[in-house]
Amino acid sequence: MTYAEILSNNQLLKDQLIGTEKYPIIVLSNIIVSQQKEILEHSLRKHKINAEVSFGDYDNIVQDSTYLLTGQQAVIIFWEAANFIEGFSYKASIMSEEQIIEVQKKIQSEILAVFNQLKNVPVVLFNTFSALPFSSESLQKNKLEIICDELNYFIETNAPTNVISVNIDKLYSRVSLSNAIDWRYWYSSKSLYTIDFFKEYTEFVLPVFLSLAGKSKKALFVDCDNTLWKGIIGEDGMGGILMSSSVKGGAVFEEIQANIVELARKGVIVGLASKNNAEDVDEVINNHPDILLKNENIVIKAVNWLDKPDNIRWMVKELNIGTDSCVFLDDSDFEVGYVKENVPELSVYQVPQKTYLYPSLVRNIKSLFYNWSVSAEDAKRVEMYKAEKQRTIEQSTFISIDEYLDSLELKLILYNNDATYISRLAQMTQKTNQFNLTTKRYTETEINKHMQNGDSVIAFELKDKFGDYGITGMCIITYAGNEAVIDTFLMSCRVIGRNVEKAFFDEIIKLINKKGNITFLRANYLRTMKNEQVSQFYDKLGLSLDKTTPSGNSYYLIPQEYLFNNIKYIQIEYGK
Amino acid sequence: MENRIKKVIGSVFGIDPATITENDSPDSIPNWDSLRHMNLIVALEEEFEIEFTEDEIMDMLNYKILYTIIKEKTGL
CA distance A182 to chain B (A): 10
- How crowded is the C-beta side of A533, counted as CA atoms within 13 Å? 16
The CATH label, of 3.20.20.70, 3.30.750.24, 3.40.30.10, 3.40.50.1000, for the domain at A219-369 is: 3.40.50.1000
The pLDDT of residue A240 is 93
Q: Is the pLDDT of residue A161 over 90?
A: no
Rg (C-alpha) for chain B, rounded Å, is 11
Of chain A, the end-to-end C-alpha distance in Å amounts to 57
CA A238 to chain centre: 52
Inform me whether the C-beta atom of residue B7 falls under 8 Å from chain A C-beta atoms: yes
Whether residue B33 and residue A182 make contact (CB cut-off 8 A), yes or no, is: no
How far apart, in whole angstroms, are the C-alpha atoms of residue A540 and residue A524?
Answer: 14
pLDDT of residue A385: 42
What does the pLDDT average to over A256-260?
96
Residue B8: its chain A contacts at CB < 8 A? 4
Task: List strand residue ranges (DSSP E) for A44-121, in order.
Answer: 50-55, 74-78
pLDDT over 70 (residue A391): no
pLDDT exceeds 50 at position A488: yes
pLDDT digits (tens, 9 = 90+) for B16-68: 999 999 889 888 888 898 889 999 999 999 999 999 998 899 889 989 999 99
Distance of CA A99 to the CA centre of its chain: 28
CB A471 within 8 A of CB A421: yes
A32-48 pLDDT, tens digit per residue, is 999 999 999 999 999 89
Torsion of CA A188, A189, A190, A195, to 10 degrees: -110
Is A427 at the interface with chain B, CB within 8 A?
Answer: no
> Looking at residue A386, what is its pLDDT?
44
Interface check for A529 against chain B (CB to CB < 8 A): the answer is yes
Q: How many angstroms separate the Cα of B35 from the Cα of each of A64, B40, B76? A: 20, 9, 28
Q: Which residues of B touch A7 (CB under 8 A)?
A: 11-12, 14, 39, 43
Q: Which domains does chain B have, with CATH numbers?
A: 2-74 (1.10.1200.10)
**How many other CB atoms are found less than 10 A from the CB of residue A573?**
11
- A8·B11 Cβ contact <8 A: yes
Give CATH 3.40.50.1110 domain extents, chain A.
3-212
Residue A389 pLDDT level (bands cut at 50, 70, 90) = very low
Point out the residue among A7, A11, A189 whose CB comes nearest to the CB of B38. A189
Within 8 A of B10 by CB-CB distance, chain A residues are 8
Reported confidence tier of residue A343, pLDDT bands at 50, 70, 90: very high
Instruction: Mean pLDDT check: name the lowest of A135-144, A344-353, A495-504, B64-73.
Output: A135-144
Q: Which helix (H) or strand (E) holds A301?
A: strand A300-304
Task: Tell me how far CA of residue A252 lies from CA of A237, A281, A520, A545, in angstroms.
Answer: 19, 19, 83, 74
Q: Is the pLDDT of residue A532 over 70?
A: yes
Fold of A3-212: Rossmann fold (3.40.50)
Of A11, A194, A433, the CB nearest to B14: A11
What gap in Å lies between CA B8 and CA A412, rounded to an integer? 44
Is residue A478 within a helix (H) or strand (E), and if so which, with residue range? strand A467-480
Residue A394, pLDDT score? 45
C-alpha distances in angstroms, A246 versus A66, A235, A289, A546?
57, 22, 12, 86
Nearest to A184 among B34, B35, B54 (CB): B54
A chain contacts of residue B16, beta-carbon cutoff 8 Å: none
The verdict on B62 touching A (C-beta cutoff 8 Å) is no
What count of Cα atoms within 13 Å lies in the side-chain half-sphere of residue A453? 11
Q: What are phi and psi of A459, to 5 degrees?
A: -110, 150
Cβ-Cβ contacts under 8 Å for A450 (sequence gap 6 or more): A442, A457, A476, A478, A487
Q: Is B34 on the interface with A (CB under 8 A)?
A: yes
Contact B30 A195 (CB under 8 A): no
Q: Is the Cβ pair A195, B33 closer than 8 Å?
A: no
In this predicted structure, the answer to whether residue A108 has a pLDDT above a threshold of 90 is yes
Identify the three-state secondary structure at position A455.
Answer: coil
Q: In the predicted model, is pLDDT for residue A497 greater than 90?
A: no
pLDDT at A399: 60
Q: Which residues of A touch B7 (CB under 8 A)?
A: 4, 8
User: What's at A195, amino acid-wise?
Assistant: I
State mean pLDDT over A4-16.
93
Contact (CB<8Å) A35/B39: yes
Three-state SS sequence of B12-72 = HHCCCHHHCCCCCCCCCCCCCCHHHHHHHHHHHHHHHCCCCCHHHHHHCCCHHHHHHHHHH
For strand A50-55 and strand A22-29, is the pairing parallel, antiparallel, or unpaired?
A: parallel
Q: Determine the Cα–Cα distance for residues A202 and A175; give it in Å rounded to an integer.
A: 12
**Distances in Å between the alpha carbon of A296 and those of A269, A270, A300?**
11, 10, 10
Stretch among A55-64, A218-227, A519-528 having the lowest mean pLDDT: A55-64
| Residue pLDDT, tens place only, A539-559 | 999 999 999 999 999 999 999
Cβ atoms of A308 and A339 closer than 8 Å: yes
Contact A491, A472 (CB under 8 A): yes
At A224, the pLDDT band (50, 70, 90 cuts) reads very high
Distance (Å, whole) CA A330 – CA A339? 10
Residue A552, strand partner residues: A526, A549
> Domain A408-574: which topology?
Aminopeptidase (3.40.630)
Q: Are A490 and A459 in contact (CB under 8 A)?
A: no
Residues of chain B with C-beta less than 8 angstroms from the C-beta of A530: 33
Instruction: Give the torsion through C-alpha atoms of A232, A233, A235, A240, to 10 deg.
Output: 90
With pLDDT > 70 as the criterion, what percentage of chain A qualifies?
Answer: 94
Is the confidence at residue A137, as pLDDT, over 90? Answer: no
Single pTM value for the model: 0.73
Query: Which residues of chain B have a CB within 8 Å of the CB of A188?
Result: 54
Closest residue in A to B58 (Cα) is A188
Instruction: Find chain A residues with C-beta within 8 A of B54's C-beta.
Output: 184, 188
The ranges of chain A annotated as CATH 3.40.630.30 are: 408-574
Report the chain A residue with the minimal C-alpha distance to residue B52.
Answer: A184
A1 Cβ under 8 Å from any chain B Cβ? no
- A163-194 burial string, b = 16+ CB within 10 Å, else e? bbbbebeebbeebeeeebbbebbbeeebbbbb
Q: Is the pLDDT of residue A377 over 90?
A: no
What angle, 0 to 180 degrees and rounded to 10, lies between the N-to-C axes of helices B34-48 and B2-13?
Answer: 140
State which residue of chain A sits closest to B34, comparing Cα positions.
A189
Stretch A317-328: mean pLDDT:
90
**Contact by Cβ (8 Å): B7, B46:** no
Answer whether residue A407 shows pLDDT above 60: yes
Name residue A464's amino acid. D
